[in-house]
Structure 1
Amino acid sequence: MPDADQTLMFAEAAESAAAVARTLATNRDTLRELARDLRATPPAVVVTCARGSSDHAATYGKYLIETFVGVPVASAAPSVASVYESVVKTPAAPLCIAISQSGRSPDLLATVAAQKAAGARVVALVNDATSPLAEAADTVVPLMAGPEKSVAATKSYITALAALALLVAEWSGDERLRAAVDTLPDRLAAAWALDWSEVVDLLVDANNLFVIGRGLGFGVAQEAALKLKETCALHAEGFSAAEVRHGPMAIVGEGFPVLAFATSDNAGDGVREAAAEFAARGARVALADARADGGSHPPALADHPAIEPILTIQSFYRMANDLSVARGLDPDAPRHLSKVTRTL
């Protein structure tokens, strides 16, 4: 097994700050122009199209768009187009946001084609700007993450979050969010330096756990759970702090591990409350609380609430890489997985 600081996952996740700087510089004018168009002709609905980590980025985008712009966002089910070959009917002036690392999955391409045939404007957030997805899009947003050879997506996921944050900052005209997006590269570098070794100690012998977040932080909780399955062979489930109370919390008891991501806003209150309730039952809770601005266990940085999840997942990626190696695994080569998943 490689040392933790010698893996591709480590090197690629460590480059997220530089990758985001490229993403912002490359796409600022494109997204500003797109935002002007969206303000002039507001879409009745936004449809997202993605799978895996990219779908978790789409969840983050859903909360951003609905919170800052007020346009409803729905996730397309790719099988509707690729398996059932159903005709898609959309409201007037729909917007389709497709998110992908490779831009080559057949069911993603079929869904985008169906949306476009129904009259949607297609915006592709894609790392491979030469891909079929990029060719099919009306607006291409190259993620500029650079080559990503580890099976585990890290910097491409973070650049997708950054691109969504920039789009919504421009679309909404929210100056505070725009300013926070501008500082993302420096803040990501600070998040990468945080010490999450106590979470490695918590999970090195674990078999199951919950990862909880809420609102703008829900998508990164989903992503963290996926990465723990993928790189650490650890059964992890991502839940909203609200949804976890509807049945799943019944299995949380003495010694059950819980990893919680709390933003500094009101949505984070629900995470803090759930974490406290689980701890009172004897669960082993690690709460990354941005409100504590580095003072929680594990530490999380305070920032704009829409930016805090991006910083938290950056800190998490370093920990997940270390945990994978500590569990005797290679995070770059998870069992039974390949870099491009060609779902039909």
Structure 2
Amino acid sequence: MHAEAQEAADAVARQFAANAPAIDALVRRLKQAPPPFIVTCARGSSDHAATYGKYLFETTLGLVTASASPSVGSVYAVRPHLNGALFVAISQSGKSPDLVRNAEIAKAAGAIVVALVNVEDSPLAALADTVIPLRAGPETSVAATKSYLCSLAALLQFTARWSGDAKLLAAVDALPDALRAAWAQDWSPLVAGLVDARNLFVVGRGLGLGAAQEAALKFKETCGLHAEAFSSAEVKHGPMAIVGPGFPVLAFAQDDDTGSGTAAVAEEFRARGAPVWLTWPGATARDGVLPMPTSLHPAMTPLLAVQSFYKAVNALAVARGHNPDVPPHLNKVTETV
């Protein structure tokens, strides 16, 4: 897991160089026939990438983006009305039967099907109108790391080239080096603080919500640590009642209008006696604050936070006596129907 996560920057650079022609062709098609809305379909870490994609699409392109429940098509056999829509399926393996079935249904309903996959000869890639390869390379650890970051990077490059936003395009160019800087950050205080933890909240908001979801999943699967992800707004609607002394919180603050609210929630938890770690772009290490490099754009920020987090959670898993590469009861490819 450590070695694969460390490769993310090189994988992203490789992806950006190789995928530009295919993405530009897709963008030309979408500009000629703009979709009325976007639908994402994914599970696990890929669905956390889809959460990021939702906020990225809606804040940058102004297109309403919905997450399709795979069971609606594969189990309940519902045929949604998707004519002209953009259907984005995200899967590292491209083999999960329910995702493949939903992509088939979407295509038959008149949607443009785009597949973000790491395995380019997978069933999902075979039926897609456009394939955007993740190009993460081999990933043998059960816990997906570089393939997750490559999913976010593909969504970022796609959106930047579709929107033509100069700041977003600059962030794409800067991302590989920024990921290298994020990997170099020292989050050892988080590791030391969670060695004996049993429960944890991870909070983020907006573009950073998917990062919180991904972190909570990795805590569970690699460390045996029960962690739940919440929006820093939603956590105030009930869940925050259980936060107090001995209940740790990890908060990812964005460098946008959601950031101050996330920081305020973190401070409220700290005032109750909860162990709290907060991070945001450009933060320097100090008590309760985890360092992060500066981000050129809020859409880049979740990738930097997750890259720093992966190094820390791998170390935490080892410190807690777990093998992060082979979590109990899990397989690399989960084939749900």
* TM-score (ref. length: structure 2): 0.97
Provide the residue aligned with 1:341 in structure 2: 334
The aligned runs of 1:160-179 (5 Å cut-off) are 160-179=151-170
- For structure 1, which segment, 299-308 or 188-197, has the greater mean C-alpha deviation from structure 2 after superposition? 299-308
Q: How far apart, CA to CA, are the structure 1 residues paired with 2:284 and 2:162?
A: 29
Which amino acid counterpart does residue 317 of structure 1 have in structure 2? Answer: Y
Q: How far apart, CA to CA, are the structure 2 residues paired with 1:294 and 1:48?
A: 37
What is the DSSP-based 3-state SS (H/G/I as helix, E as strand, rest coil) of the residue aligned with 1:228? helix
Query: Shift in Å at residue 294 of structure 1?
Result: 6.2
What is the DSSP-based 3-state SS (H/G/I as helix, E as strand, rest coil) of the residue aligned with 1:237? strand
The aligned runs of 1:95-174 (5 Å cut-off) are 95-174=86-165
Query: Shift in Å at residue 82 of structure 1?
Result: 1.1
Q: Residues 55 and 142 from structure 1, CA distance in 2 versus in 1: closer, same or farther, beyond 3 angstroms? A: same
Q: Residues 293 and 164 from structure 1, CA distance in 2 versus in 1: closer, same or farther, beyond 3 angstroms? A: farther
Q: How far apart, CA to CA, are the structure 2 residues paired with 1:21 and 1:46?
A: 26
- After superposition, the C-alpha distances for 1:52-86 in whole angstroms (9 at most, x for unaligned) are 00000000000000000000000011001111112
* Maintained 8 Å contact 2:256/2:298: yes
Q: How far apart, CA to CA, are the structure 2 residues paired with 1:243 and 1:229?
A: 21
Query: Shift in Å at residue 46 of structure 1?
Result: 0.4
| Runs (4+) off by over 2 Å | 291-296
- After superposition, the C-alpha distances for 1:282-335 in whole angstroms (9 at most, x for unaligned) are 110000122536667211222111101101100000001000000000000000
Q: How far apart, CA to CA, are the structure 1 residues paired with 2:292 and 2:276?
A: 15
Q: How far apart, CA to CA, are the structure 2 residues paired with 1:339 and 1:307?
A: 27
Q: How far apart, CA to CA, are the structure 2 residues paired with 1:302 and 1:264?
A: 10
- After superposition, the C-alpha distances for 1:178-208 in whole angstroms (9 at most, x for unaligned) are 0111111111011001000000011110000
Provide the residue aligned with 1:290 in structure 2: 281
Aligned residues: 335
Q: How far apart, CA to CA, are the structure 1 residues paired with 2:43 and 2:310?
A: 19
Which amino acid counterpart does residue 122 of structure 1 have in structure 2? Answer: V
Percent same amino acid among aligned pairs? 61
What is the DSSP-based 3-state SS (H/G/I as helix, E as strand, rest coil) of the residue aligned with 2:244? coil
What is the DSSP-based 3-state SS (H/G/I as helix, E as strand, rest coil) of the residue aligned with 1:330? coil
- After superposition, the C-alpha distances for 1:194-248 in whole angstroms (9 at most, x for unaligned) are 0000000111100000000001000010000000001000000010001000000
Q: How far apart, CA to CA, are the structure 1 residues paired with 2:313 and 2:282?
A: 23
- For structure 1, which segment, 56-65 or 260-269, has the greater mean C-alpha deviation from structure 2 after superposition? 260-269
- After superposition, the C-alpha distances for 1:122-165 in whole angstroms (9 at most, x for unaligned) are 00000000100110100001100000000000000000100000
Provide the residue aligned with 1:245 in structure 2: 236
* Maintained 8 Å contact 1:170/1:178: yes
Matched, 1:16 2:1: no
Q: Structure 1 residue aligned with 2:80, among 88, 94, 102?
A: 88
Matched, 1:330 2:331: no
Q: Structure 2 residue aligned with 1:261, among 252, 255, 266?
A: 252
Q: Structure 1 residue aligned with 2:17, among 15, 25, 32?
A: 25
Which amino acid counterpart does residue 14 of structure 1 have in structure 2? Answer: Q
Q: How far apart, CA to CA, are the structure 2 residues paired with 1:58 and 1:321?
A: 23
RMSD of equivalent CA atoms: 1.1
Unaligned runs of 5+ in 2: none
Which amino acid counterpart does residue 329 of structure 2 have in structure 1? Answer: H
* Maintained 8 Å contact 1:222/1:238: yes
Q: Structure 1 residue aligned with 2:41, among 31, 38, 49?
A: 49
* Maintained 8 Å contact 2:179/2:304: yes
The aligned runs of 1:222-237 (5 Å cut-off) are 222-237=213-228
* Maintained 8 Å contact 2:96/2:334: yes
- For structure 1, which segment, 78-87 or 216-225, has the greater mean C-alpha deviation from structure 2 after superposition? 78-87
Q: How far apart, CA to CA, are the structure 2 residues paired with 1:99 and 1:46?
A: 13
Provide the residue aligned with 2:272 in structure 1: 281
* Maintained 8 Å contact 1:263/1:291: no
Provide the residue aligned with 2:212 in structure 1: 221
Q: How far apart, CA to CA, are the structure 1 residues paired with 2:282 and 2:259?
A: 8
